[in-house]
Amino acid sequence: MLSKLCSLRARVIYLAMPSATFIHAACFAVGAVVGGGVVTAVSFHKRTIPVSGPTVAPSASTAKAPLLPPVIEMGPNGDARISSITAATALTSPVLKYGHPGPIPDLLVRKAYTAAYDRRLRHPAWTAEHLTLSSLGKSALAPSSNDEAGDRSRSTFTEDASLPVGFRAKLQDYFRSGYDRGHMVPAADAKISQEAMDETFLLSNIAPQVGAGFNRHYWAYVEDWCRRLTGSFADVYVFTIPLYLPHKDPDGKWRVNYEVIGSPPNVSVPTHFAKVVLASRPSSPSRPDVPEISTGAFVLPNTIIPDEAPLESFVMPVEAVERAAGLNLFSDALKNSSKHICKSTKCEVVVRRFDDAQKRPEVRRAISAPK
């Protein structure tokens, strides 16, 4: 696994993963972890964040924090489902009598997605979506109303007023930074309503991305591929995860290097971005109650990627992404029972200049689902 991760360095400089802590809450439950990078992808250690509460004396029963469940787990019938378990009860400590200092990610539950915002990096730690033909307004059984559908031209980038002022990403941070305001949850995934689309333009859903050659092109092709999966699968879960991966210097040591934009420096620039997908459909017409589950992870460098680059060249083990990001996305049972997505459908992007299509509506065209 480590050798495959290191092979990606041939395409772009690796940078190390800074510490991050995540929580299980609402529908999505994500394990807490201290730091870590892909260079240490074969090992990581978990801990649980203590929360303030009644002061109690430490005891043997409270000396070890429970491991939190994964985001997606196996249901009683072997189907994939979102965990319904909320934040696990954590340790209390007399030292934290007056509150826990953090780090504290902000859980953001929106109309079309759920996310955890990293206050230190000032961009999402992760975002999660559940895509279906219906959610994308493409279902013949539940057609969307044009009056209710979101219109991108009516949305504007906005600072997230729900976050503490001192930890917000600001519009000024991106001004003349040389980077695009890259959506983690794309606006095209949130056409169910104008409010849903507007929420994708909050800066809490944005991370700095290279523009031409990445955000406006290859990354957009990958987002389109995720949407097209709904033509072949009943349910598609998509996780988008900014990463900071390590590079090896001439002296043989691995180091962390990444840019921070803003004045003063405020928003960190990820070196890579991961798309992790889980797709589900009936295994056969005769057994619609038995699901066929497919999973896959793709790690793309935050740099110009040629249009002809095969999507499969960015495949990584889901476990490697989990360890690099400090997340526990899928249960072991689900991983062991699922197929790789590239064995269930074509892992091929359709090269379509989305930025040109926005400028020239007449060149827009429909794209079929992967087969």
Q: Which residues are marked as active site?
A: 183
Which of 71, 27, 74, 72 has its CA nearest to residue 291? 74
SS3 content of the chain, % helix, strand, coil (to 5): 25, 25, 50
Which of 56, 31, 320, 358 has its CA nearest to residue 217? 358
In the 3-class helix/strand/coil scheme, how is 34-92 assigned residue by residue? CCCCHHHCCCCCECCCCCCCCCCCCCHHHCCCCCCCCCEEECCCCCEEECCCCCCCCCC
Residue 302 token pair: 């935050």
> Are the C-beta atoms of 45 and 58 separated by less than 8 Å?
no
How big is the chain by its Cα radius of gyration, in Å?
Answer: 21
Amino acid at 16: A
Which of 171, 19, 38 has its CA nearest to residue 105? 19
